[in-house]
Amino acid sequence: MPQASDPTNILDDQYLLVRAKLIEVAAVLDRIDRAAEAQGDLPSDLDPVAKRSAIEQAIQLLLRGAVDPGQRAEAIQRLLSRTYKPNWRDTFGV
């Protein structure tokens, strides 16, 4: 595990993992684009516009950085998650 205070060690340790995840995201977006071209559109029950928009917003957040340095993961988690509601169990019948 790299030391938190040494950005070079962190980057050296995590580079290949991050690289693979970025390639995976790019590949998923490419598959979505190819499927949309082949089918003319995506099934409406998937709400592809909202989901694709959320992914693009998360990518933009990464590119410009979070409001507070070191808070990118939290900002993306909040972007891609539902707002907490105390009565969520009732809503989902749990």
For the stretch 46-60, pLDDT in tens is: 566 788 888 989 999
Question: Which residue segment(s) compose the domain that 52 sits in?
Answer: 43-84
Query: For position 4, what pLDDT does the model report?
Result: 60
H or E element: which one contains 10?
helix 7-39
What b-and-e string marks burial along 41-55, b requiring 16 or more CB atoms within 10 Å of the CB?
eeeeeeeeeeebeeb
> Does this model's pTM top 0.75?
no
Structural domain total, the chain: 2
**Domain annotation covers residue 79:** yes
Same domain membership, residue 7 and residue 38 = yes
Q: Are residues 4 and 37 in the same domain?
A: yes
On whether both 33 and 47 belong to a single domain, the answer is no
**One domain, residues 37 and 54:** no
**90 assigned to some structural domain:** no
Rounded CA separation 2/27 (Å): 29
Tell me whether residue 91 is in a domain: no
Taken in order 73, 23, 58, 70, the sign of the CA dihedral is positive
